Structure 1
Amino acid sequence: MKQLLLLLAATGSISLAYAQAPTTPTYHVAVGVLGSYRTAGVLGEARLTPHFGLKLAGVLTSDGTVPDEYSTAGIGQVAYYLPCHLTWLEPVVGLGGIYTSYHWQQYGQSGTVRDLNVGGSFGANVVFHPRLRTGVQVFVANGFRGAYSDNAMRISGRRLLALPALTLEVLL
């Protein structure tokens, strides 16, 4: 009986140690799509180390309130994957740059306002297959506030922008 208890205790401790061991990613590149109620985009990632990656995204945003007005953005970030004991969960934070281009059309005039600024992100991915993951990311940026003057749009100030998005990625 004593040997059986020792065997069970040893088996339990081995499986507990295995469940808590940090996992290393089995991919080097990820490509996918992102979207929300008014945003669509593509994204890619190069995993540099088990905890660091380089993320790139291209996004198109339109709320549909003003015809022919839309925004495009290019996002580049260094991502840090927080250590997690759950092998299917990847919490992640990122910091980098964002380039935005806002196309406006008002009063028979049109133009484009461009901006380069800093941004970040946070969220979590769920790896539901060795080659597929889905997640929720919130991109945060120091965006601009636009105002119309002299039949043109100009940057009139700054505001914090938060863009939540659902992601679906293929891990290569």
Structure 2
Amino acid sequence: MMSTPFLLLFGLAALPSLGQEAAPSLATYRVRRFSVGVLGTYNGVGVQSDYRFTPRWGVKLAGVQQFGYERAAEYGRAGIGLLTYSLLTNAKVVEPVVGVGAVYSLYHWALAGGSGAVTDLNVGAGFGTNLRFSDRFRTGFNIFAVNGFRAEYQRGDMVVTGRRVVVFPTLTLDFLL
């Protein structure tokens, strides 16, 4: 009868031989430099474009219209610019990506007979995974976080009163050109 330490040593000695065969490399779709698409969150929709200046590094621009405000004349808009990096993977259809950049926000308010706009320029970051179904189409699920602002009505005007991190889960559809 073999002892437990001997079995453990035998098993550990066999481990290096398991990794000797390299996994077959999956063919990847051609890297496309430019894409356009749409995005949607729980409270907004928008358009986006992506330009890759290398196979891994690129820039993403998006414009978003927010909805669901309490008063009919209120709305929010955002312009987003991110420097992106596509992570390496062996999977043909999976494209993980991370990004960091700037966010310009505009909140149009209408209250107590007055109206106006509060604007803000701040930082944002995102990460997610795109699934590539063909050479010219991909869809993705991304998480975007921004250092947003809180606004309150004070002395007849809307003013920024604080900061908060806002997280947006986002679905995307892109057409690769």
Cα deviation per residue 1:23-70 (whole Å; 9 max; x = unaligned)? 474211000000123211000010111111110000000114221111
* Aligned Cα root-mean-square deviation (Å): 1.6
TM-score by length of 1: 0.86
Alignment of 1:16-165 (within 5 A): 16-19=23-26, 23=28, 25-165=30-170
State the identity as a percent: 45
Separation (CA, whole Å) in 2 of partners of 1:65 and 1:41: 20
Task: Return 5+ residue gaps in structure 1 as ranges.
Answer: 1-12
TM-score by length of 2: 0.84
SS at match of 1:97: strand
The size of the alignment, in residue pairs, is 157
Which consecutive segments of 4 or more residues in structure 1 shift more than 2 A?
16-19, 23-26
After TM superposition, give the deviation of residue 77 of structure 1 in Å: 0.5
Separation (CA, whole Å) in 2 of partners of 1:61 and 1:101: 10
Separation (CA, whole Å) in 2 of partners of 1:144 and 1:70: 15
Separation (CA, whole Å) in 2 of partners of 1:160 and 1:18: 40
Cα deviation per residue 1:103-138 (whole Å; 9 max; x = unaligned)? 011111100000000111111100011100000122
SS at match of 2:24: helix
Q: Is the 8 A contact 2:29 2:134 kept in 1?
A: no
Separation (CA, whole Å) in 1 of partners of 2:172 and 2:56: 19
Separation (CA, whole Å) in 2 of partners of 1:105 and 1:159: 22
In structure 2, do the counterparts of structure 1 residues 124 and 98 end up closer, same or farther at CA, with 3 Å as the change threshold?
same
Separation (CA, whole Å) in 1 of partners of 2:61 and 2:152: 29
SS at match of 1:17: coil
Q: Is the 8 A contact 1:24 1:50 kept in 2?
A: no
